[in-house]
Chain A
C-alpha cells in the first residue's frame, strides 16, 4: 500500500468520498461528531461525499464490520485505503490529516 503514491490531499479528481460515522445514540460526543463532520465535509468535500451515520446503540452488531472499539469513530471507506479517525472530530486539523485531505506533518 505504501508503494502507491500518497493521496494528493485536496480531494481532486471527482471521486466519491464514502464516509461512515459510528455513533452511540445521542451521546454528546456522538452529536458533536455528526455536526463537526457535516461542517468539515461541506467546507472541504462539497458535492462529492456521502455520509452514513450508524447508531451502534440500535445495532451493536454492526461494530464488527469495521472493528469499532471507541465511539464516535469515523471510517473513510472510499477512497481506499480505509482510514479510521476516533473521537468527536473537534480538532479539524487532525481530521483533515487523518482523511488525507492535508499532508501529514513531517
Chain B
C-alpha cells in the first residue's frame, strides 16, 4: 500500500515525464526531425505525412527500375529504394543499417571493398546475395555526394539477370553456329577433289560415251549434297539475321533464265516436262543476283520434283502494280494439302518436321530460306494450291528499282559473253591437300591457264618470289604452316597481287575476313567448275 505522500510524489513524477515528452515532441517538430503525425480520427488513428518540396524526386527514386542506395564512407546503408530491396528479397527496413558488403555474395566482397576505397566514379560487377539463396548479378556505379557537410556515397545498382541470360543464350547459339560451320567444313572437304575430278573428266572429253550418264549421276548427287550443306549454313545465317546480301542492279530476266537452265534444263532437253515462259523484260531491280537465283532455283526444283512426267511448269512475270514485279511459278504436279499450306515456309519452327517430310527431304529448308531471301529484298513469297493433285503456284513479289526514263541504257552493264576464249593467266595455287590441289590445278589448266602449285605458305611465298609475273593467287585458308589470310596480305602488299580464297568455311564472318585480307573473292568448297570459271572471269576481267 502506498502512503498518501508517496502517491502524490508518484503523480508529480508522472506529470513531469509527460511534460518532458510534450516538450521533446515540440522540440523535435521545431527542429524538423519529424515528418509525420498520428492524428486521432473518429474511425481510429490516421498518419499524416508532412510533405517536403522535394517529394517528387523522392517518389521518382522510389519508383525507378534500378536500385538506388546511399552509403556511409564505411559502406553502411543509410537509405535504399524499393527496387534494391526487391533485388535482395528483403524489406527495406532490414537493408538500411546493414553493411552493404554483407548483402553481397562472398566472392564479390573484396571487389566491393576495393570500389569503396576508390575516390569517385567507381564501377564494377558483383553478385548480390538474395535472401532466397539466389545470387543476383548486378552492376554497381558509385559516386561521392556531400549531404549536410557529411560525405555519403550514392550507389546505383543495375540488375543484370536478364542481360546475363540473353548473353548465355547468344553464347549457346554461337557455339551451335561454330559447330555447324565446322561440321559443314568436315562434310565438304572430301567433296572438293571428287567434284573437281568429275568436272575435269566431263570437260576433258576423255570419258567413254557409255560412262557419261553414270558419271553425270555421281556429279549430280555430289552437287546435291553440297547444296544441302549450303542450306545448313544459310539456316544459321537467317536464324541469326546475319544473311549478308551483295546488292547490285539486276535484270530479273537473266536471273530467271539462269535458274530455269540449271534447275530443269535436263528435263526440258529429255522432253519429260514442258516449261512455258512468259517473262517481262527490262525491269531492273536492286538485288543480290546469286541469292535470287537460289530462290527461283528452289521453287523450280520443287516444281520439277513434284510434277509427274509430261507435266507443265509455267514461269510468268508481269508488273503487278506500279513499282512491283510479280513472278509466278506454277506446276501441274501433286499439289499441296490446304492444311499444310500455311506452314510450308516454317521449316525453322519446332514441330514442323511433318510438313517437311510430307514434301520430301530438303524442301522444308529450301522454302524457308527462299522466303527469307525474298523478304530481305523487301518482297513477299506466297504459295497457293487447289489441293492434292491440283498443282501448286508460288508467287514472288519484288520491288522494282525506279530508274528515270532513258537512264536504263546508261546504267546497264555490258553483258559478258560466256566465251571459253579467255586470256591465259599465270596462277599460283596454294593448297595443302595434295589431291585437291592437283584436281583444281588440272581444272585451271583445262581452262588454258598456267598453274604453279604450292603446298605450304612458305612454298607459296617462295614461288611468288621466283615467278615474277603471277597474275592471280588462288589459296586455301588453312595451311599447315600458317594462314591463307596472312599469305594474301603479304602477297598483296609486296606484289600487289589479286587473289581468290578457297575455304570450307562460308560464314559471313569468314567472307568478311578474307575480304579484309585482300582476297577479291571467297569460294566455299567444294569448288565447282562453273563457279571457278565465273570468278576467274570477274576477278581478272
Contacts and interface: CB of A to CB of B under 8 A. Distances in A.
A50 B72 CA distance: 22
B38 A29 contact: no
B25 A86 contact: yes
A27 interface: yes
Interface string B93-108: 1001110000000000
Contacts of B21: 84, 86
Interface residues of A, number: 40
B47 A70 contact: no
B25 A60 contact: no
A53 interface: yes
Chain A binding surface, main DSSP class: mixed
B24 interface: yes
A63 B46 CA distance: 9
Contacts of A92: none
A35 B36 contact: no
Contact of A34 (B47, B49, B72, B96): B96
Contacts of B516: none
B31 interface: yes
B45 A60 contact: yes
B34 A35 contact: no
A29 B34 contact: yes
A61 B34 contact: no
A99 to B, nearest CB: 13
Interface string A18-52: 00000111111111101101110010000000000
A72 B35 CA distance: 7
A29 B62 contact: no
B141 interface: no
Contacts, number: 108
Nearest to A85: B24
Given A25-B49, A60-B47, A84-B24, A70 B76 contact: no
A69 B24 contact: no
B52 interface: yes
A19 B480 CA distance: 78
B160 to A, nearest CB: 25
Contact of B36 (A29, A34, A37): A29
Interface residues of B, number: 34
A56 B243 CA distance: 61
Contacts of B537: none
Given A30-B35, A86-B28, A90-B33, A24 B76 contact: no
A52 to B, nearest CB: 10
A60 B49 CA distance: 12
A63 B45 contact: yes
A28 B35 contact: yes
A61 B45 contact: yes
Contact of B96 (A38, A64, A72): A38
B92 A87 contact: no
B15 to A, nearest CB: 13
B58 interface: yes
Given A35-B78, A38-B96, A86-B25, A57 B31 contact: no
Nearest to B34: A70
A71 interface: yes
Central interface residue in B21, B31, B33, by most chain A CB within 10 Å: B33
Contact of A27 (B27, B35, B46): B35
A63 B34 contact: no
27 contacts: A1-B13, A24-B36, A29-B34, A30-B35, A31-B78, A31-B92, A32-B78, A34-B96, A37-B97, A38-B97, A38-B98, A53-B93, A57-B36, A63-B38, A63-B45, A64-B45, A68-B38, A69-B37, A69-B38, A70-B29, A70-B34, A70-B38, A84-B21, A84-B24, A86-B25, A87-B33, A89-B33
